[in-house]
Structure 1
């Protein structure tokens, strides 16, 4: 499964969806022509439906996500006694399917953080994912049991560039913070080993 392609489509379709909403056309199925595959539409419909994921339009693509995370890390690193991380490390998710997968998992977990996804929502989302059995199975699994912050952190490992991108993507999904989302993000930042100063810079880059 090409997680990098799916994630890029999710971010691209989110950007197109916001443009269409601003022009008075707010239906997700009208943005499939923007290059978003069925899997991207299905995942995005869940994020929009649960948390108003229009904030994803700030990202637009994996390259933009990496760039924003790198800018945040640069500002953080200039103020703290931490080793710099090369810019190319922030482009990892564009070539690494496992990196894209954990970013997607974090986004879905963030979308589900405010409460359980109902059976009706699951059916609606799966109907939009398309006929690819592998994608159907993966999305269904992630909706039924979203990745825990511990599992997300385990997959990220000791990779500060990926940790910053994972948090940034999750934060943008949780645009309107409620108590459960605040708890989720705090636990995610702690599990990823992100200190308060870096989290603050990532929040700024996300526009919060």
Structure 2
């Protein structure tokens, strides 16, 4: 199984070009189809966009935080979580846009950082990229809105994706029986992985829906994330919306 490729397929395939063109993809959708089906941010162009775009209209336009443009999907996710974590540790106030006190950074996490998914496995010993995929699927299903017809369309899109048979089987199994919140939270080894699981889940959710907000709150509690860190993670997501 190619865990890194699977995660990239969810977040948007490729390196700099995929992330950098997410804005254009989302804006084109807005221009051509209004706000319907806009996945926005990191989700534009990836399987996550299909997963959440089939649920309902998303009041999002694609806008990526300037500091992550130039990274691939998985690296962008790590960079967002890393920035939030660094801002939290330094005692800064959460902000959704760069300021003089909290400037945007173009630094990627250090090469040995736990914020790079490939550097450490999840608690079950499997690649952490798989934990992030499971987190996105579980979060997207938090309100139980994915009906049989929508699931069929998602299955068809996954079937057409550039994934190996084992990777597709992993996704099909997860879509057929989404993991529980407890299952997802238990995959995190340490606060860095916990922050990334929360961030991946938050990107898959519409917090205007009470059930989805309740899911996020419960997930943060299960991951034992400090409220201040969660606020910084929320600020990073706001910068991509």
Q: What pairs with 1:1-208 in structure 2 (closer than 5 Å)? A: 1-12=1-12, 15=19, 16=21, 18-23=23-28, 24=31, 40-41=46-47, 43-50=48-55, 52=58, 58=64, 61-79=73-91, 87=110, 88-95=112-119, 98-130=127-159, 132-157=164-189, 159-207=190-238
Distance 1:11 1:53 in 2: 19
* Map of 2:97 onto structure 1: none
Runs of 4 or more off by more than 6 Å in structure 1? Answer: none
How far apart are residue 176 of structure 1 and its match? Answer: 4.3
* TM-score, with structure 1 as normaliser: 0.77
Q: Do the aligned residues in 1 keep the contact of 2:50 with 2:154 (CA within 8 Å)?
A: yes
Number of equivalenced pairs: 191
Q: Do the aligned residues in 2 keep the contact of 1:156 with 1:192 (CA within 8 Å)?
A: yes
Distance 1:123 1:185 in 2: 26
Residues 9, 137 of structure 1: alpha-carbon distance in 2 compared, 3 angstrom cutoff: closer
Q: Do the aligned residues in 2 keep the contact of 1:126 with 1:140 (CA within 8 Å)?
A: yes
How far apart are residue 53 of structure 1 and its match? Answer: 9.3
How far apart are residue 17 of structure 1 and its match? Answer: 5.7
Q: Do the aligned residues in 1 keep the contact of 2:136 with 2:204 (CA within 8 Å)?
A: yes
Q: Name the structure with the higher helix share.
A: 1
* TM-score, with structure 2 as normaliser: 0.67
Distance 2:216 2:77 in 1: 18
How far apart are residue 25 of structure 1 and its match? Answer: 5.3
How far apart are residue 164 of structure 1 and its match? Answer: 0.6
How far apart are residue 50 of structure 1 and its match? Answer: 2.1
Q: Do the aligned residues in 2 keep the contact of 1:167 with 1:189 (CA within 8 Å)?
A: yes
Q: Do the aligned residues in 2 keep the contact of 1:164 with 1:202 (CA within 8 Å)?
A: yes
Structure 1: stretches of 5+ with no match in the other structure: 29-35, 81-85
Q: Do the aligned residues in 2 keep the contact of 1:8 with 1:61 (CA within 8 Å)?
A: yes
Q: Do the aligned residues in 2 keep the contact of 1:3 with 1:100 (CA within 8 Å)?
A: yes
Residues 162, 106 of structure 1: alpha-carbon distance in 2 compared, 3 angstrom cutoff: same
How far apart are residue 75 of structure 1 and its match? Answer: 1.6
